[in-house]
Chains A and B, each alone.
Chain A
Amino acid sequence: MHYAILCYHSEEVVMAWSKEQNDEVMGRLEKIRQRIAKEGKLGPVARLLPTTAATTLRKDRDPPLILDGPFAETKEQFLGFYIIDVADLDEALGIARELGEANPGGAFEVRPLAVYYPAGV
Protein backbone atom coordinates (compact mmCIF):
# COMPACT_ATOMS: atom_id res chain seq x y z
CA MET A 1 0.00 0.00 0.00
CA HIS A 2 1.41 3.36 -0.98
CA TYR A 3 1.07 6.29 1.37
CA ALA A 4 2.08 9.90 1.05
CA ILE A 5 3.41 11.63 4.14
CA LEU A 6 2.61 15.28 3.50
CA CYS A 7 4.65 17.65 5.66
CA TYR A 8 3.14 20.81 7.08
CA HIS A 9 4.92 23.37 9.24
CA SER A 10 5.07 27.13 9.68
CA GLU A 11 7.55 28.15 7.03
CA GLU A 12 8.35 31.33 8.93
CA VAL A 13 9.58 29.18 11.79
CA VAL A 14 11.47 26.80 9.51
CA MET A 15 13.08 29.80 7.76
CA ALA A 16 14.22 31.07 11.15
CA TRP A 17 16.10 27.85 11.90
CA SER A 18 19.81 28.44 12.25
CA LYS A 19 22.04 26.63 9.80
CA GLU A 20 23.19 24.29 12.56
CA GLN A 21 19.61 23.51 13.49
CA ASN A 22 18.70 22.89 9.85
CA ASP A 23 21.71 20.63 9.28
CA GLU A 24 20.95 18.73 12.46
CA VAL A 25 17.32 18.06 11.48
CA MET A 26 18.27 17.17 7.91
CA GLY A 27 20.98 14.84 9.19
CA ARG A 28 18.54 12.97 11.41
CA LEU A 29 15.97 12.72 8.61
CA GLU A 30 18.59 11.50 6.18
CA LYS A 31 19.43 8.52 8.41
CA ILE A 32 15.78 7.49 8.55
CA ARG A 33 15.36 8.07 4.82
CA GLN A 34 18.32 5.82 4.00
CA ARG A 35 17.10 3.06 6.29
CA ILE A 36 13.59 3.03 4.77
CA ALA A 37 15.11 3.13 1.30
CA LYS A 38 17.26 0.07 2.11
CA GLU A 39 14.15 -1.73 3.28
CA GLY A 40 12.68 -1.04 -0.17
CA LYS A 41 9.83 1.00 1.26
CA LEU A 42 10.67 4.43 -0.09
CA GLY A 43 9.46 6.27 -3.18
CA PRO A 44 10.23 9.85 -4.17
CA VAL A 45 10.98 12.40 -1.47
CA ALA A 46 10.88 16.18 -1.94
CA ARG A 47 11.44 19.31 0.06
CA LEU A 48 9.70 22.28 -1.54
CA LEU A 49 11.03 25.82 -1.91
CA PRO A 50 9.22 28.52 0.10
CA THR A 51 5.63 29.35 -0.83
CA THR A 52 6.85 32.75 -2.05
CA ALA A 53 8.30 30.87 -5.03
CA ALA A 54 4.92 29.28 -5.81
CA THR A 55 2.46 30.16 -8.56
CA THR A 56 -1.17 29.02 -8.54
CA LEU A 57 -3.27 28.25 -11.61
CA ARG A 58 -6.97 28.58 -10.88
CA LYS A 59 -8.58 26.33 -13.46
CA ASP A 60 -12.17 26.79 -12.32
CA ARG A 61 -12.60 29.35 -15.06
CA ASP A 62 -11.71 29.70 -18.69
CA PRO A 63 -9.09 30.90 -19.38
CA PRO A 64 -7.46 29.82 -16.11
CA LEU A 65 -6.31 32.50 -13.73
CA ILE A 66 -2.66 32.58 -12.74
CA LEU A 67 -1.97 33.88 -9.25
CA ASP A 68 1.23 34.55 -7.34
CA GLY A 69 1.73 32.54 -4.20
CA PRO A 70 0.47 29.26 -2.77
CA PHE A 71 -3.04 27.88 -3.31
CA ALA A 72 -4.11 28.40 0.29
CA GLU A 73 -3.11 30.98 2.87
CA THR A 74 -2.70 28.84 5.96
CA LYS A 75 -0.88 29.12 9.26
CA GLU A 76 1.14 26.04 8.41
CA GLN A 77 2.31 25.46 4.87
CA PHE A 78 2.84 22.39 2.69
CA LEU A 79 6.63 22.10 2.68
CA GLY A 80 7.44 18.64 1.34
CA PHE A 81 6.46 14.98 1.07
CA TYR A 82 7.58 11.35 1.27
CA ILE A 83 6.02 8.50 -0.69
CA ILE A 84 6.30 5.21 1.17
CA ASP A 85 5.31 1.62 0.33
CA VAL A 86 4.17 -0.15 3.51
CA ALA A 87 1.89 -2.97 4.64
CA ASP A 88 -0.75 -0.90 6.38
CA LEU A 89 -1.66 2.36 8.10
CA ASP A 90 0.06 1.31 11.32
CA GLU A 91 3.37 0.96 9.56
CA ALA A 92 2.86 4.29 7.77
CA LEU A 93 2.10 6.01 11.06
CA GLY A 94 5.14 4.35 12.61
CA ILE A 95 7.38 5.90 9.97
CA ALA A 96 5.60 9.24 10.31
CA ARG A 97 6.11 9.11 14.07
CA GLU A 98 9.80 8.42 13.62
CA LEU A 99 10.20 11.28 11.11
CA GLY A 100 8.28 13.53 13.49
CA GLU A 101 10.66 12.79 16.35
CA ALA A 102 13.55 13.78 14.11
CA ASN A 103 11.75 16.94 12.98
CA PRO A 104 9.38 18.22 15.69
CA GLY A 105 6.78 20.94 15.15
CA GLY A 106 4.01 21.13 12.56
CA ALA A 107 2.06 18.11 11.32
CA PHE A 108 2.15 15.20 8.88
CA GLU A 109 -0.88 14.22 6.87
CA VAL A 110 -0.64 10.49 6.14
CA ARG A 111 -2.70 9.76 3.08
CA PRO A 112 -3.05 6.66 0.90
CA LEU A 113 -2.32 6.94 -2.81
CA ALA A 114 -5.00 6.14 -5.40
CA VAL A 115 -2.80 6.11 -8.50
CA TYR A 116 0.98 5.97 -8.59
CA TYR A 117 3.38 6.30 -11.54
CA PRO A 118 6.79 5.96 -9.90
CA ALA A 119 8.92 7.10 -12.84
CA GLY A 120 6.43 9.01 -14.93
CA VAL A 121 6.13 6.35 -17.67
Chain B
Amino acid sequence: MAEIAWIHAALTSARPQAISALLRYFRDLDVAEEAYQEACLRALKSWPQNGPPRDPAAWLIFVGRNVALDQVRRQKKQTALPEDDQLSDLDDAESEVAERLDGGHYRDDILRLLFICCHPDLPSTQQVALALRIVSGLTVKQIARAFLVGESAMEQRITRAKARVAAANVPFETPGPVERAERLAAVAAMLYLVFNEGYSASGAESDHRRPFSEEAIRLMRLLLRLFPTEPEIMGLLALMLLQHARAPARLDASGQIILLEDQNRSLWDREMIAEGLALVDKAMRHRRPGPYQIQAAIAGVHARAARPDETEWAQIDLLYATLEHIQPSPVITLNRAVAVAKLRGAEAALAMVEPLERQLSGYFYFFGFKGWLLMQLGRSREARAAFDRAIGLAGSASEAAHIRQHIDRLMREHGQAEAG
Protein backbone atom coordinates (compact mmCIF):
# COMPACT_ATOMS: atom_id res chain seq x y z
CA MET B 1 0.00 0.00 0.00
CA ALA B 2 2.78 2.40 0.92
CA GLU B 3 4.28 1.81 -2.51
CA ILE B 4 1.05 2.61 -4.33
CA ALA B 5 0.75 5.84 -2.33
CA TRP B 6 4.30 6.78 -3.24
CA ILE B 7 3.70 6.08 -6.93
CA HIS B 8 0.49 8.08 -6.82
CA ALA B 9 2.29 11.09 -5.30
CA ALA B 10 5.10 10.80 -7.88
CA LEU B 11 2.62 10.68 -10.77
CA THR B 12 0.66 13.63 -9.39
CA SER B 13 3.74 15.77 -8.89
CA ALA B 14 5.16 14.90 -12.34
CA ARG B 15 1.91 15.55 -14.20
CA PRO B 16 2.20 19.29 -15.05
CA GLN B 17 5.77 18.91 -16.27
CA ALA B 18 5.10 15.69 -18.21
CA ILE B 19 1.91 16.85 -19.92
CA SER B 20 3.35 20.23 -20.80
CA ALA B 21 6.46 18.67 -22.37
CA LEU B 22 4.30 16.19 -24.30
CA LEU B 23 2.13 19.09 -25.43
CA ARG B 24 5.15 20.91 -26.80
CA TYR B 25 6.19 17.77 -28.59
CA PHE B 26 2.82 16.80 -30.13
CA ARG B 27 1.15 20.23 -30.14
CA ASP B 28 -2.17 18.58 -29.38
CA LEU B 29 -3.70 18.46 -25.94
CA ASP B 30 -5.63 15.22 -26.45
CA VAL B 31 -2.60 13.39 -27.78
CA ALA B 32 -0.50 14.73 -24.89
CA GLU B 33 -3.07 13.64 -22.31
CA GLU B 34 -3.45 10.17 -23.82
CA ALA B 35 0.31 9.73 -24.01
CA TYR B 36 0.61 10.70 -20.37
CA GLN B 37 -2.18 8.30 -19.36
CA GLU B 38 -0.52 5.46 -21.17
CA ALA B 39 2.84 6.30 -19.58
CA CYS B 40 1.17 6.25 -16.15
CA LEU B 41 -0.26 2.79 -16.80
CA ARG B 42 3.20 1.55 -17.70
CA ALA B 43 4.65 3.23 -14.63
CA LEU B 44 2.18 1.36 -12.44
CA LYS B 45 3.41 -1.89 -13.99
CA SER B 46 7.11 -1.09 -14.14
CA TRP B 47 7.89 0.95 -11.02
CA PRO B 48 6.86 -1.61 -8.39
CA GLN B 49 9.11 -4.19 -10.13
CA ASN B 50 12.08 -2.11 -11.20
CA GLY B 51 11.95 0.47 -8.44
CA PRO B 52 11.11 4.13 -8.89
CA PRO B 53 13.00 6.06 -11.56
CA ARG B 54 15.32 8.82 -10.42
CA ASP B 55 13.33 11.43 -12.32
CA PRO B 56 9.67 10.37 -12.65
CA ALA B 57 8.77 13.28 -14.95
CA ALA B 58 11.58 12.50 -17.42
CA TRP B 59 10.55 8.83 -17.39
CA LEU B 60 6.92 9.68 -18.12
CA ILE B 61 7.84 12.11 -20.89
CA PHE B 62 10.14 9.59 -22.52
CA VAL B 63 7.70 6.68 -22.33
CA GLY B 64 4.69 8.83 -23.21
CA ARG B 65 6.45 10.20 -26.25
CA ASN B 66 7.44 6.75 -27.50
CA VAL B 67 3.96 5.37 -26.94
CA ALA B 68 2.31 8.19 -28.85
CA LEU B 69 4.84 7.97 -31.68
CA ASP B 70 4.21 4.26 -31.92
CA GLN B 71 0.52 4.85 -32.16
CA VAL B 72 1.03 7.33 -34.95
CA ARG B 73 3.26 4.82 -36.74
CA ARG B 74 0.85 1.98 -36.13
CA GLN B 75 -1.99 3.96 -37.59
CA LYS B 76 0.13 4.53 -40.65
CA LYS B 77 1.62 1.09 -41.15
CA GLN B 78 -0.28 -1.23 -38.83
CA THR B 79 3.02 -2.37 -37.30
CA ALA B 80 3.03 -3.98 -33.89
CA LEU B 81 3.66 -2.11 -30.66
CA PRO B 82 7.00 -2.85 -29.01
CA GLU B 83 6.93 -5.20 -26.06
CA ASP B 84 7.04 -3.63 -22.65
CA ASP B 85 10.50 -4.99 -21.91
CA GLN B 86 11.90 -2.96 -24.76
CA LEU B 87 10.96 0.06 -22.73
CA SER B 88 12.20 -1.28 -19.42
CA ASP B 89 15.86 -0.34 -19.64
CA LEU B 90 15.33 3.36 -19.52
CA ASP B 91 18.09 4.57 -17.29
CA ASP B 92 20.37 6.03 -19.92
CA ALA B 93 17.61 7.30 -22.14
CA GLU B 94 15.94 8.80 -19.13
CA SER B 95 18.95 10.76 -18.00
CA GLU B 96 19.48 11.92 -21.55
CA VAL B 97 15.96 13.34 -21.67
CA ALA B 98 16.46 14.86 -18.25
CA GLU B 99 19.59 16.60 -19.51
CA ARG B 100 17.60 18.23 -22.26
CA LEU B 101 14.85 19.27 -19.88
CA ASP B 102 16.83 22.26 -18.76
CA GLY B 103 15.14 24.67 -16.41
CA GLY B 104 14.21 27.34 -18.94
CA HIS B 105 12.55 25.00 -21.33
CA TYR B 106 10.34 23.28 -18.90
CA ARG B 107 9.49 26.55 -17.21
CA ASP B 108 7.92 27.86 -20.41
CA ASP B 109 6.27 24.49 -21.07
CA ILE B 110 4.44 24.53 -17.76
CA LEU B 111 3.60 28.19 -18.10
CA ARG B 112 2.12 27.51 -21.55
CA LEU B 113 0.04 24.60 -20.27
CA LEU B 114 -1.38 26.78 -17.51
CA PHE B 115 -1.79 29.72 -19.84
CA ILE B 116 -3.96 27.89 -22.37
CA CYS B 117 -6.48 27.33 -19.57
CA CYS B 118 -6.78 31.13 -19.15
CA HIS B 119 -8.32 31.77 -22.55
CA PRO B 120 -10.19 35.08 -22.16
CA ASP B 121 -13.26 33.75 -24.03
CA LEU B 122 -13.72 31.04 -21.43
CA PRO B 123 -15.95 31.94 -18.48
CA SER B 124 -14.01 31.77 -15.24
CA THR B 125 -15.62 28.53 -14.05
CA GLN B 126 -14.57 26.84 -17.27
CA GLN B 127 -11.01 28.08 -16.88
CA VAL B 128 -11.03 26.56 -13.44
CA ALA B 129 -12.56 23.27 -14.61
CA LEU B 130 -10.09 23.01 -17.46
CA ALA B 131 -7.06 23.65 -15.27
CA LEU B 132 -8.22 21.15 -12.67
CA ARG B 133 -8.81 18.53 -15.34
CA ILE B 134 -5.71 19.03 -17.48
CA VAL B 135 -3.05 20.36 -15.15
CA SER B 136 -4.08 18.77 -11.86
CA GLY B 137 -5.63 15.63 -13.30
CA LEU B 138 -8.77 15.71 -11.14
CA THR B 139 -11.43 13.41 -12.54
CA VAL B 140 -14.45 14.83 -14.38
CA LYS B 141 -16.56 13.26 -11.64
CA GLN B 142 -14.70 15.16 -8.89
CA ILE B 143 -15.03 18.44 -10.77
CA ALA B 144 -18.69 17.87 -11.65
CA ARG B 145 -19.57 17.11 -8.04
CA ALA B 146 -17.86 20.26 -6.84
CA PHE B 147 -19.74 22.43 -9.33
CA LEU B 148 -23.02 20.64 -8.61
CA VAL B 149 -23.57 19.52 -12.20
CA GLY B 150 -23.93 16.10 -13.75
CA GLU B 151 -20.88 14.24 -14.95
CA SER B 152 -21.85 14.24 -18.63
CA ALA B 153 -22.65 17.96 -18.54
CA MET B 154 -19.19 18.66 -17.10
CA GLU B 155 -17.58 16.34 -19.63
CA GLN B 156 -19.24 18.34 -22.41
CA ARG B 157 -18.15 21.64 -20.93
CA ILE B 158 -14.56 20.51 -20.69
CA THR B 159 -14.61 19.12 -24.23
CA ARG B 160 -15.98 22.40 -25.55
CA ALA B 161 -13.44 24.41 -23.55
CA LYS B 162 -10.65 22.26 -24.98
CA ALA B 163 -11.88 22.85 -28.52
CA ARG B 164 -11.90 26.58 -27.79
CA VAL B 165 -8.37 26.40 -26.49
CA ALA B 166 -7.14 24.37 -29.46
CA ALA B 167 -8.66 26.89 -31.88
CA ALA B 168 -6.89 29.72 -30.04
CA ASN B 169 -3.49 28.45 -31.21
CA VAL B 170 -1.29 29.60 -28.37
CA PRO B 171 2.14 29.85 -30.02
CA PHE B 172 4.73 27.22 -29.13
CA GLU B 173 7.75 29.44 -29.64
CA THR B 174 9.59 30.51 -26.52
CA PRO B 175 7.85 33.69 -25.36
CA GLY B 176 9.70 36.99 -25.08
CA PRO B 177 10.04 38.64 -21.65
CA VAL B 178 6.95 40.85 -22.03
CA GLU B 179 4.78 38.01 -23.23
CA ARG B 180 6.12 35.77 -20.48
CA ALA B 181 5.23 38.36 -17.85
CA GLU B 182 1.72 38.67 -19.32
CA ARG B 183 1.26 34.92 -19.28
CA LEU B 184 2.49 34.73 -15.73
CA ALA B 185 -0.02 37.38 -14.61
CA ALA B 186 -2.90 35.62 -16.39
CA VAL B 187 -1.93 32.28 -14.91
CA ALA B 188 -1.67 33.75 -11.41
CA ALA B 189 -5.16 35.24 -11.73
CA MET B 190 -6.51 31.89 -12.95
CA LEU B 191 -4.90 30.00 -10.05
CA TYR B 192 -6.44 32.49 -7.64
CA LEU B 193 -9.82 31.66 -9.22
CA VAL B 194 -9.15 27.96 -8.64
CA PHE B 195 -8.24 28.76 -5.05
CA ASN B 196 -11.34 30.85 -4.50
CA GLU B 197 -13.68 28.23 -5.95
CA GLY B 198 -12.45 26.08 -3.11
CA TYR B 199 -12.10 28.75 -0.46
CA SER B 200 -15.41 30.54 -0.92
CA ALA B 201 -17.46 27.34 -0.83
CA SER B 202 -19.64 26.74 2.18
CA GLY B 203 -22.20 24.16 3.21
CA ALA B 204 -22.33 20.84 1.41
CA GLU B 205 -20.09 22.03 -1.42
CA SER B 206 -17.17 22.81 0.83
CA ASP B 207 -16.05 19.18 1.22
CA HIS B 208 -15.92 18.58 -2.50
CA ARG B 209 -14.17 21.85 -3.19
CA ARG B 210 -11.48 21.77 -0.54
CA PRO B 211 -9.08 19.98 -2.93
CA PHE B 212 -9.31 23.02 -5.24
CA SER B 213 -7.62 25.29 -2.73
CA GLU B 214 -4.95 22.72 -1.97
CA GLU B 215 -4.36 22.15 -5.66
CA ALA B 216 -4.05 25.90 -6.31
CA ILE B 217 -1.45 26.14 -3.52
CA ARG B 218 0.51 23.21 -4.95
CA LEU B 219 0.53 24.77 -8.43
CA MET B 220 1.49 28.18 -7.01
CA ARG B 221 4.47 26.60 -5.25
CA LEU B 222 5.42 25.04 -8.58
CA LEU B 223 5.06 28.42 -10.30
CA LEU B 224 7.21 30.10 -7.67
CA ARG B 225 9.90 27.44 -8.09
CA LEU B 226 9.90 28.29 -11.80
CA PHE B 227 9.88 32.06 -11.21
CA PRO B 228 11.64 32.36 -7.85
CA THR B 229 12.21 36.12 -7.92
CA GLU B 230 8.70 37.38 -8.77
CA PRO B 231 7.33 39.25 -5.74
CA GLU B 232 3.70 39.06 -6.90
CA ILE B 233 3.97 35.28 -7.25
CA MET B 234 5.36 35.14 -3.70
CA GLY B 235 2.54 37.47 -2.66
CA LEU B 236 -0.21 35.35 -4.18
CA LEU B 237 1.14 32.11 -2.70
CA ALA B 238 1.38 33.87 0.68
CA LEU B 239 -2.18 35.17 0.33
CA MET B 240 -3.49 31.68 -0.45
CA LEU B 241 -1.59 30.12 2.46
CA LEU B 242 -2.67 32.77 4.96
CA GLN B 243 -6.31 32.43 3.91
CA HIS B 244 -6.27 28.65 3.71
CA ALA B 245 -4.68 28.48 7.18
CA ARG B 246 -8.04 29.63 8.54
CA ALA B 247 -9.98 26.85 6.79
CA PRO B 248 -10.25 24.63 9.91
CA ALA B 249 -11.90 27.52 11.80
CA ARG B 250 -14.00 28.99 9.02
CA LEU B 251 -17.12 26.84 8.94
CA ASP B 252 -19.44 25.85 11.75
CA ALA B 253 -20.88 22.37 12.23
CA SER B 254 -23.63 23.09 9.70
CA GLY B 255 -21.11 24.31 7.12
CA GLN B 256 -21.92 28.02 7.49
CA ILE B 257 -19.18 30.63 7.39
CA ILE B 258 -17.85 31.97 10.70
CA LEU B 259 -16.63 35.57 10.52
CA LEU B 260 -12.94 36.27 11.08
CA GLU B 261 -13.64 37.98 14.41
CA ASP B 262 -15.53 34.97 15.75
CA GLN B 263 -13.17 32.23 14.60
CA ASN B 264 -11.36 30.00 17.07
CA ARG B 265 -7.83 31.09 16.22
CA SER B 266 -6.23 28.10 17.90
CA LEU B 267 -7.55 26.06 14.97
CA TRP B 268 -5.59 28.10 12.43
CA ASP B 269 -2.82 26.15 10.70
CA ARG B 270 0.42 27.53 12.17
CA GLU B 271 2.66 25.91 9.57
CA MET B 272 0.82 27.54 6.69
CA ILE B 273 0.89 30.86 8.50
CA ALA B 274 4.66 30.58 9.01
CA GLU B 275 5.17 29.87 5.33
CA GLY B 276 2.84 32.71 4.31
CA LEU B 277 4.54 35.24 6.57
CA ALA B 278 7.99 34.16 5.35
CA LEU B 279 6.87 34.73 1.77
CA VAL B 280 5.44 38.17 2.56
CA ASP B 281 8.81 39.12 4.07
CA LYS B 282 10.63 37.80 1.00
CA ALA B 283 8.35 39.67 -1.40
CA MET B 284 8.62 42.98 0.48
CA ARG B 285 12.40 42.93 0.10
CA HIS B 286 11.96 43.49 -3.64
CA ARG B 287 10.23 46.85 -3.05
CA ARG B 288 7.91 46.27 -6.00
CA PRO B 289 4.55 46.23 -4.24
CA GLY B 290 1.52 44.79 -6.00
CA PRO B 291 -2.06 43.89 -5.14
CA TYR B 292 -1.35 40.26 -4.15
CA GLN B 293 1.52 41.24 -1.88
CA ILE B 294 -0.53 43.89 -0.14
CA GLN B 295 -3.51 41.61 0.34
CA ALA B 296 -1.15 38.96 1.68
CA ALA B 297 0.35 41.51 4.08
CA ILE B 298 -3.16 42.35 5.32
CA ALA B 299 -3.93 38.66 5.83
CA GLY B 300 -0.57 38.47 7.61
CA VAL B 301 -1.56 41.19 10.09
CA HIS B 302 -4.68 39.21 10.97
CA ALA B 303 -2.64 36.01 11.23
CA ARG B 304 -0.23 37.60 13.71
CA ALA B 305 -3.02 38.63 16.09
CA ALA B 306 -3.63 35.88 18.64
CA ARG B 307 -6.95 37.54 19.57
CA PRO B 308 -9.17 39.82 17.44
CA ASP B 309 -8.54 42.78 19.79
CA GLU B 310 -4.78 42.43 19.25
CA THR B 311 -5.17 43.19 15.54
CA GLU B 312 -2.93 46.05 14.35
CA TRP B 313 -5.70 48.02 12.64
CA ALA B 314 -3.38 50.96 11.91
CA GLN B 315 -1.26 48.69 9.72
CA ILE B 316 -4.32 47.35 7.98
CA ASP B 317 -5.55 50.89 7.33
CA LEU B 318 -2.18 51.79 5.84
CA LEU B 319 -2.04 48.69 3.67
CA TYR B 320 -5.55 49.27 2.31
CA ALA B 321 -4.61 52.88 1.60
CA THR B 322 -1.69 51.60 -0.51
CA LEU B 323 -3.97 49.13 -2.25
CA GLU B 324 -6.51 51.90 -2.94
CA HIS B 325 -3.71 53.90 -4.47
CA ILE B 326 -2.51 51.23 -6.93
CA GLN B 327 -5.87 49.60 -7.60
CA PRO B 328 -8.68 52.06 -6.80
CA SER B 329 -11.97 50.27 -6.14
CA PRO B 330 -14.99 50.99 -3.94
CA VAL B 331 -14.74 47.51 -2.40
CA ILE B 332 -11.20 48.26 -1.24
CA THR B 333 -12.33 51.57 0.25
CA LEU B 334 -15.13 49.71 2.01
CA ASN B 335 -12.61 47.26 3.46
CA ARG B 336 -10.41 50.10 4.55
CA ALA B 337 -13.37 51.68 6.31
CA VAL B 338 -13.57 48.59 8.54
CA ALA B 339 -10.07 49.38 9.80
CA VAL B 340 -10.96 53.07 10.12
CA ALA B 341 -14.01 52.18 12.22
CA LYS B 342 -11.76 50.27 14.63
CA LEU B 343 -9.19 53.08 14.73
CA ARG B 344 -11.17 56.30 14.62
CA GLY B 345 -14.73 55.23 15.26
CA ALA B 346 -17.97 54.71 13.37
CA GLU B 347 -18.46 58.35 12.44
CA ALA B 348 -15.21 58.56 10.46
CA ALA B 349 -15.91 55.22 8.80
CA LEU B 350 -19.42 56.24 7.84
CA ALA B 351 -18.10 59.37 6.17
CA MET B 352 -15.84 57.15 4.03
CA VAL B 353 -18.53 54.66 3.19
CA GLU B 354 -21.47 56.92 2.33
CA PRO B 355 -20.07 58.23 -0.98
CA LEU B 356 -19.75 54.61 -2.19
CA GLU B 357 -23.48 53.87 -2.05
CA ARG B 358 -24.17 54.47 -5.74
CA GLN B 359 -21.36 52.16 -6.87
CA LEU B 360 -22.08 49.48 -4.31
CA SER B 361 -25.87 49.56 -4.44
CA GLY B 362 -26.00 45.82 -5.18
CA TYR B 363 -23.40 44.75 -2.64
CA PHE B 364 -24.50 42.85 0.44
CA TYR B 365 -21.48 43.78 2.55
CA PHE B 366 -21.92 47.48 1.90
CA PHE B 367 -25.37 47.59 3.49
CA GLY B 368 -24.42 45.16 6.23
CA PHE B 369 -21.48 47.32 7.24
CA LYS B 370 -23.33 50.62 6.82
CA GLY B 371 -26.13 49.30 9.01
CA TRP B 372 -23.63 48.21 11.63
CA LEU B 373 -21.98 51.67 11.65
CA LEU B 374 -25.35 53.40 11.98
CA MET B 375 -26.24 51.03 14.80
CA GLN B 376 -23.02 51.99 16.65
CA LEU B 377 -24.03 55.62 16.27
CA GLY B 378 -27.49 54.97 17.69
CA ARG B 379 -29.23 55.85 14.41
CA SER B 380 -31.48 52.82 14.60
CA ARG B 381 -34.10 53.78 12.04
CA GLU B 382 -31.47 54.27 9.30
CA ALA B 383 -29.62 51.18 10.51
CA ARG B 384 -32.77 49.12 10.14
CA ALA B 385 -33.25 50.40 6.58
CA ALA B 386 -29.67 49.43 5.65
CA PHE B 387 -30.05 45.97 7.23
CA ASP B 388 -33.26 45.40 5.31
CA ARG B 389 -31.47 46.14 2.06
CA ALA B 390 -28.63 43.84 3.07
CA ILE B 391 -31.04 40.96 3.69
CA GLY B 392 -32.51 41.54 0.24
CA LEU B 393 -29.01 41.14 -1.22
CA ALA B 394 -27.84 38.24 0.92
CA GLY B 395 -26.35 35.43 -1.14
CA SER B 396 -26.77 32.70 1.44
CA ALA B 397 -28.87 31.77 4.45
CA SER B 398 -25.94 32.42 6.78
CA GLU B 399 -25.44 35.95 5.46
CA ALA B 400 -29.10 36.74 6.02
CA ALA B 401 -29.04 35.11 9.46
CA HIS B 402 -26.06 37.21 10.43
CA ILE B 403 -27.90 40.45 9.57
CA ARG B 404 -31.03 39.26 11.38
CA GLN B 405 -28.96 38.98 14.55
CA HIS B 406 -28.10 42.67 14.20
CA ILE B 407 -31.74 43.55 13.63
CA ASP B 408 -32.74 41.56 16.71
CA ARG B 409 -30.18 43.49 18.73
CA LEU B 410 -31.51 46.76 17.34
CA MET B 411 -35.02 45.77 18.33
CA ARG B 412 -33.89 44.87 21.84
CA GLU B 413 -31.86 48.02 22.42
CA HIS B 414 -33.83 50.65 20.60
CA GLY B 415 -37.08 48.98 19.61
CA GLN B 416 -39.04 50.25 22.56
CA ALA B 417 -37.90 53.84 22.14
CA GLU B 418 -38.71 53.70 18.44
CA ALA B 419 -42.11 52.22 19.10
CA GLY B 420 -42.89 54.84 21.73
Name B38-70 residues within 8 Å CB distance of A.
52, 54-56
Residues of A within 8 A of B278 (CB): 49, 53
**Cβ-based interface call for A105 (8 A):** yes
Q: Quick one: CB contact mask for A29-73 with B, threshold 8 Å, 1 for yes?
A: 000000000000000000001111101000000000010110001
Q: Which of A17, A53, A73, A104 has the most CB of B within 10 A?
A: A53
- A53-B238 Cα distance, complex, nearest whole Å: 10
> Nearest A residue to B228 by beta-carbon distance?
A69
Say if the beta carbon of B144 comes within 8 Å of chain A.
no
CB under 8 Å from chain A, chain B span 71-107: 103
Given contact pairs A15-B13, A53-B278, A68-B229, A104 touches B285 in the complex (Cβ within 8 A): no
Q: How many Å lie between the Cα of A51 and that of B14 in the bound state?
A: 18
Residues of B within 8 A of A21 (CB): 5, 9
Is A50 in contact with B221, judged by CB distance below 8 angstroms? Answer: yes
Chain B residue with Cβ nearest A15? B218
Whether the Cβ atoms of A49 and B9 lie closer than 8 Å is no
**Set B3, B9, B222, B275: member contacting A17, Cβ < 8 A:** B9
Asked if A16 and B9 sit within 8 Å, CB to CB, the answer is: yes
Name the B residues within 8 Å of A13 (CB-CB): 6, 9-10, 13, 56
Hey, which chain A residues are within 8 Å of B2, CB to CB? Answer: 104
**Residue in B9, B55, B282 whose CB lies within 8 Å of A53:** B282
B237 touches A (CB below 8 Å): yes
Q: In the complex the two chains form, what is the Cα distance from A68 to B279 in whole Å?
A: 10
In chain B, what residue has the closest Cβ to A103?
B2
Minimum distance in angstroms from B240 CB to a CB of chain A: 12
Do A52 and B285 form a contact, CB below 8 Å, given A21-B9, A105-B52?
Answer: no
Cβ < 8 Å to B, chain A residues 3-28: 10, 12-18, 21
- Is B138 interfacial (CB 8 A cutoff)? no
- Does the CB pair A53–B13 fall under 8 Å? no
- B229 x A52 contact (CB < 8 A): no
Q: Which residue of B lies closest to A14 (CB)?
A: B9
Q: Which of B56, B218, B225 has the most CB of A within 10 A?
A: B225
A-side interface size class: 20 to 34
Asked if A16 and B221 sit within 8 Å, CB to CB, the answer is no
B12 at the interface (CB under 8 A from A): yes
| Least distance between B184 CB and chain A CB atoms (Å) | 15
Q: In the assembled complex, which residues on chain B have CB atoms less than 8 Å from the CB atom of A49?
A: 271, 274-275, 278
Is there an interface contact between A52 and B6, defined as CB atoms closer than 8 Å? Answer: no
Whether A51 touches B9, Cβ cut-off 8 Å, given contacts A16-B218, A68-B282, is no
Chain A residues with Cβ under 8 A from B237's Cβ? 52
Residues from chain A with a CB closer than 8 A to the CB of B282 are 53, 55, 68
Chain A residue at minimum C-beta to C-beta distance from B229 = A68
| B201 at interface by CB-CB < 8 Å | no
CA distance A52 to B10 in the complex (A): 19
- Residue in chain B with minimal CB distance to A102: B2
**Distance (Å) between the CB of B246 and the closest chain A CB?**
17
A13-B9, A13-B10 in contact; A53/B54 too (CB < 8 A)?
no
Q: Which residues of A contact B224 (CB under 8 A)?
A: 52
| Contact call B218/A68, Cβ cutoff below 8 A | no
CB distance from A3 to the nearest CB of B (A): 26
| Partner among A10, A55, A73, A104 whose Cβ is within 8 Å of the Cβ of B13 | A10
Query: Could you tell me the distance between the alpha carbons of A84 and B56 in the complex, rounded to whole angstroms?
Result: 32
Residues of B within 8 A of A15 (CB): 13, 218, 221
User: Which residues in window 269-292 of B have CB below 8 A to A?
Assistant: 271, 274-275, 278-279, 282, 285
> Which of B3, B13, B229, B275 touches A50 (beta carbons < 8 Å)?
B275
Contacts of A68 in B (CB 8 A): 228-229, 234, 282
B interface list, Cβ under 8 A from A? 2-3, 5-6, 8-10, 12-14, 52, 54-56, 103, 218, 221-222, 224-225, 228-229, 234, 237, 271, 274-275, 278-279, 282, 285
Closest 9 CB pairs of A and B: A16-B13, A12-B13, A69-B228, A16-B12, A16-B9, A53-B278, A52-B224, A68-B228, A13-B13
30 contacts between A and B (CB under 8 A): A10-B13, A12-B14, A12-B222, A13-B9, A13-B10, A13-B56, A15-B218, A15-B221, A16-B10, A16-B13, A18-B8, A49-B275, A49-B278, A50-B221, A52-B221, A52-B224, A52-B228, A52-B237, A53-B279, A53-B282, A55-B282, A66-B285, A68-B228, A68-B229, A68-B234, A68-B282, A69-B228, A73-B103, A75-B55, A104-B6
Q: A-side interface residues toward B, CB under 8 Å?
A: 10, 12-18, 21, 49-53, 55, 66, 68-69, 73, 75, 104-105
Kindly list 20 other residue pairs between chains A and B, CB separation below 8 angstroms, not including A13-B6, A53-B278, A68-B234.
A10-B10, A10-B13, A12-B13, A15-B13, A15-B221, A16-B10, A16-B13, A17-B5, A18-B5, A18-B8, A18-B9, A49-B274, A50-B275, A52-B221, A52-B228, A53-B275, A73-B103, A75-B55, A104-B6, A105-B6
